[in-house]
Chains A and B, each alone.
Chain A
Amino acid sequence: MILVIEQILNGLQFGVMLFLLAAGLTLIFGIMGVINLAHGSLYMIGAYAGTWVAMETGSFWIGIPAALVAAALTGFAIETLVIRRLYTRDHLDQVLATFGLILIFNQSVTLIFGRQPLFTSLPGFFEGSVEIIPGLPYPTYRLLIIAVGLLVALGLYFLINRTRIGMLVRAGATNRDMVRALGVDIRLLYTIVFGLGALLAGLAGFMAAPILAVQVGMGEQILLVTFVVVVIGGVGSIRGAFVAGILLGVSDTLLRAFLPGLLRQVMTGPEADALGVGIASTGIYLLMVIVLLFRPKGLFPVGS
């Protein structure tokens, strides 16, 4: 039972990470109609910038604003220099251009930081684990990630539903042309949305850094799953990104943790492992297929 709870917590933590990435991606895709493959690069830039500053200053906390600023600035630059020229082009051009950006960013980071992964150490309090229920010590830092993820979700909820800018974002996701026709500066809105998405990606990257290795190409590893989250949640929907992120995080973790064991009850060891790992790694895609079969526009469709 304790094992199940621990795995659910792991899933939750993975889920909020996915949400941080997917929130930006879904807004950019939903409002601007741009497929941004370079979103993973923003995640990487956040991780590198934050970790580097944290290493130089010796303080993990100073790394946070550094990561946010670096990712947001890169986001603004990408939007003004590249994406802005692609709004009217079709998706293939956008995919090509942003894929090119991935290569450029990966190579630049390799040139600046080298191929060896960077590493941070956590502030003392978050190094170890706390016993949240008797017999279950859980890494303190992962609890922090869950808390930050939920706070961001709450913040975004207020931003989207309670503020003027949020209203414009919602309107933009529903009907772009109408918003423009009503005289809203859509260019500014796009830049803000892109910057916000980049900021969240940078935050996710920096939060992931102490757990994972900060390395070139780290963004691409998680990007694919993030797109699945966006599709399942419904393009343009923050709420969808949240629900789908948690759903995917938990189901992926539980499948990987328990499926081989369950299969071992009915099959021999190595075959059960091979099949279990196989099914578990395709599990989230299977989930996507099922969701799309019944709800072609995702769980929380936006607009018409």
Chain B
Amino acid sequence: MHFIDPHIHMSARTTDDYEALAAAGVVAVIEPAFWLGQPRTSVGSFQDYYASLVGWERFRAAQFGICHYCTIGLNSKEANDDALAEQVMELLPLFAAKDGVVAIGEIGFDDQTPAEEKYFRAQLELAKRVELPVMIHTPHRDKQAGTLRSMAICLEHGLRPDQVIVDHNNEETVQAVLDQGFWAAFTLYPKTKMGSERMVEVVRRYGQQRIIVDSSADWGVSDPLAVPKTARLMLARGIDSAQVTATCYGNALAAYGQSGQFNEADWLSPTAIDQRQLFEGNSVLRGQQPLIS
């Protein structure tokens, strides 16, 4: 069974993780632009970060047989630095149309401040102009209200619900998100938010339609194998394999495939792994024998 992890911050992960993902059947990953655990203080830091998402990280993933895509956006936390956010907004179009960018995201609310709303709206307009779907980060605090508000703002800007993936859902938000026709993604954290056990029950209750599973693995305590592990648990608990495939592969493909840049052919007829290759003169290897498939 093939899997897609449509929300995983691979820049923060090791090559061991890439090997484990490939071994577990993950064929493609989407790395949303987000924050780095501490606020950036200059626009150049954003520029180099976005450049690495479309450059080095994409290359690094391919060296381990994984197709890497990303989303470009200004995250809600850092939207609160208004002067810097203005400069980042000027930068975003330079990356939003590059190869491998499959959405604008992750954007939305953190503390639900006026500044967050301003840059959320500005980025929805950018998404329309660049013709990309949107990945919404729903807030950890006041989640229910923040989720409803995020969807209302998307509709106000003329986006269709099926162009928007609402992420970090829980049992409290899922019904409203599905009722309004948005994609409902679930981040499976080992301890907080959703766990695999709860995810099984969500799929049992709501079925497969427009539900997407992801790991959101990053530099914090998280599990990059959350998608394949949850898929296995679903199967063990008697969930139909078509539903497992939809929630752990097919729905992400349909949602982000709207970008025109997220195609099954990329991983079903892949270019061979060749670890002799270099990116701007640099290798992922440290003297090891290059793997060539």
The answer to whether A and B assemble together is: no
What residues of chain B have their CB less than 8 Å away from a CB belonging to chain A?
Answer: none
Which residues of A does B touch, CB under 8 Å?
none
